[in-house]
A and B are shown apart, each in its own frame.
Chain A
Amino acid sequence: MSDFLTVFFLLTGSGLILIGAIGAVRMPDLILRMHATTKAGALGVGLMTVATAVYFLDIGVTVRALSILAFVVLTAPIAAHVIGRAAYFTGAPLWERTLKDELGQNLDRRGHYLRSGLEEQDRLPNRDRPAE
C-alpha cells in the first residue's frame, strides 16, 4: 500500500512538472508561460516531497517534507510576481490575442511607479510619487 502511494505521488508529481515544462515551451507569451510553470511546478514538487514522506514513514522526514511543501507553495507565487513585474518593466510583449491590459497604462517605467488609477477619484495628495 505504501509502495503504491509512493509510486502514485512520484508519477503524478513528475507528470505535473513535465506538463509545466511543456507549457513553458508552448504558451504564447511570458506571463502565460508563468501560469504553467508556477502552478504545475509548485504542486509537482509538493507531491514529490509527500512521496518521500510516505516512503520513509519517519517523523523527521515527514516534518521536513511538510515544511518544504509549505515553503514552496508560499514562495512560488512570489517568484512569479517578481518575474511578471520584471517583464512589465522591461517591456516584454503580450500575446496579440490579449483582450485588455489595465496595468500598462498605469505604469511609469522610468520612475518605477505603478498608479492605482483611483487617485483622481478622491484627490488625495500623493506623497509617494517621485517628482518629475
Chain B
Amino acid sequence: MTLFIWNILLAFVWVALSGNFTGSGFLAGFIFGYLVLAFVSRMSGDMTGYTRKIPQVIGFTLFYLWELIRSNMRVAYEVLTPTHYMRPGVIGLPLMTQSDAAVTLLANLISMTPGTLSIDVSNDNRMLYIHAMHIDDEDALRADLKDLERRVIELLS
C-alpha cells in the first residue's frame, strides 16, 4: 500500500518536472514510476507484492470481462432457441475463505460467469448458494467454481 502512494507521488513528480499537467501526463508518470518501483523492489530483494499485484489486477479485470461476454452468448442462445434445454438447480458451494471482501468478489464473479447466479450466503459465511442453469455435470461445475475461488483468494492475499 505504501508503494502505491509512492507510485502516485512519483507520478506527480513526473507531472511537475515535465510541465505536462494533463491526465495522459499523469498516466505516463504513473507507468514510469511503476517501472522504477518494480525495478527497485527487484534489486533490493524485498518484494512487497505491490509490483506483482498490478498485473494480477489487470489480468483479473480482463478475465472478468471475458467471462461476462461468454455468459452473454450462453444466455442469448438459451433465450433465442425455441426449446428450453436447461436443467437448473440450486447447489451449495462450501467456501474456503470467510473474509467478507473475498466472498463479495467471488459472488459477483460467479453471477457474471456463464450459467451461474449466486443467490445467498449462509449467515456464517461458510456456504455460498448458487443457482446454475445446467447441472448435468455437477462435479465439473463445482471444480470450475473452486477454480474461481482460488483466483479470488490469490488476488486478495
Chain A interfacial positions (CB closer than 8 Å to B): 16, 19-20, 22-23, 26-28, 31-32, 34-36, 38-40, 42-43, 59, 63, 73-74, 76-78, 80-81, 84-85, 88, 94-95, 97-104, 106, 113-119, 126, 128-129
Contact = CB atoms under 8 A, between A and B. Distances in A.
Contacts, number: 140
B107 A81 contact: yes
Q: Is the interface of A mostly helix, strand, loop or mixed?
A: helix
Nearest to B77: A19
B68 A117 contact: no
B119 interface: yes
A84 B119 contact: yes
Interface stretch (B44-52, B125-133, B144-152): B125-133
B123 interface: yes
B104 to A, nearest CB: 8
A78 B108 contact: yes
B64 interface: yes
Contacts of A115: 122-123
Most buried by B among A32, A34, A59, A73: A32
